[in-house]
Amino acid sequence: MSELNFDNIDSVQIDILREIGNIGAGNATTALSQMVNKRIDMGIPVVKITDFTELSEVLGGAENPIVGILLSVEGQINGMMMFILEQASAHTLINMLMGRELDAFESFSEMDLSALKEIGNIISGAYLSSLSSLTNLKIIASVPYMAIDMAGAILSVPAIEFGKIGDKALLIQTDFGEGGKENLYGFFILIPDMPSYKVILDSLGVY
């Protein structure tokens, strides 16, 4: 396989990355559902390849506050995994978990922040373990790190990684919500380093 570059990715590669997103997000949603003890439905993941200049537009503009949970990934695949939520979705999720009114939007308490981090951990862990069993590759994730800040600032972290390869970023958007209402919007961004893309696609027999 030649060097992968999102500026000229082919449709087979996109299909594979979408399928990884689908399986990963499906597992993550199940994990989330068990955590909040409610049925959580998931929409079909959308794989987007966008210019990184437009990356933050997907999340309501560069200055829109978002929650980002980042894990570094090591093993046979190296890179980062990021789970991103709009602030409103983060509140809804926390409220679900804590059994509060869903539309209570006070500022996050220490307890909320810690719970949010744990949600990110479980969701990302489920995502990565499905990727691991799909590819038969050993993947180890770090503890989660969280930041709540402007979308542009948080997304600069994955954008810079993608920036080393080209001018485009790949993100997998997953909408999910309680009982048919898909009112939570989350994004997974898997950011393998350059050699790891080849490792993933090779492990699935794609050349």
Partner 1 sequence: MEMIKVGMADLKACKFPDALTTLGLGSCVGIVLYDPITKVSGMAHIMLPDSTKISNNSNIAKFADTAVDQLIKDMINLGANPTRFVSKIAGGAQMFSFSSKNELMRIGERNIEASKQKLADLKIPILAEETGENYGRTIEFYSETGDLRIKTIGRDIKII
For partner 1, which stretch binds (CB under 8 A), given 92-100, 112-120, 157-165, 199-207? 157-165
In sequence order, what DSSP letters do the residues of the chain get, joined into one string? -PPP-GGG--HHHHHHHHHHHHHHHHHHHHHHHHHHTS-EEEPPPEEEEEETTTGGGGGT-TTSEEEEEEEEEEESS-EEEEEEEEHHHHHHHHHHHHT--TT---PPPHHHHHHHHHHHHHHHHHHHHHHHHHHT--EEE---EEEEEEHHHHHHHHHHHHHTT-SEEEEEEEEEEETT---EEEEEEEEE-HHHHHHHHHHTT--
Nearest residue (CB) to partner 1, 96 versus 170: 170
Residues in contact with partner 1, total (CB under 8 A)?
Answer: 35
Nearest residue (CB) to partner 1, 19 versus 167: 167
Task: Give the shortest CB-71-to-partner 1 separation in angstroms.
Answer: 10
Task: Give the shortest CB-38-to-partner 1 separation in angstroms.
Answer: 29
Task: Give the shortest CB-110-to-partner 1 separation in angstroms.
Answer: 16
Nearest residue (CB) to partner 1, 161 versus 178: 161
Residues 124-153 that bind partner 1 (CB under 8 A): 142, 145-153
Task: Give the shortest CB-13-to-partner 1 separation in angstroms.
Answer: 17
Task: Give the shortest CB-101-to-partner 1 separation in angstroms.
Answer: 25
**Pair of tokens at residue 28:** 């993550």
78: Cβ contacts below 8 Å, ≥ 6 apart: 192, 193, 195, 196
Task: Give the shortest CB-23-to-partner 1 separation in angstroms.
Answer: 26
Based on the shown chain and the rule CB under 8 A, indicate whether residue 62 belongs to the binding site for partner 1. yes
Nearest residue (CB) to partner 1, 67 versus 97: 67
Radius of gyration for the chain, computed over Cα atoms and rounded to the nearest angstrom: 16
Q: 46 - beta bridge partners?
A: 173
Based on the shown chain and the rule CB under 8 A, indicate whether residue 41 belongs to the binding site for partner 1. no
Which residues make up the interface to partner 1 (CB under 8 A)? 5, 52-53, 55-56, 61-63, 65, 68, 70, 72, 80, 142, 145-157, 159-161, 163-167
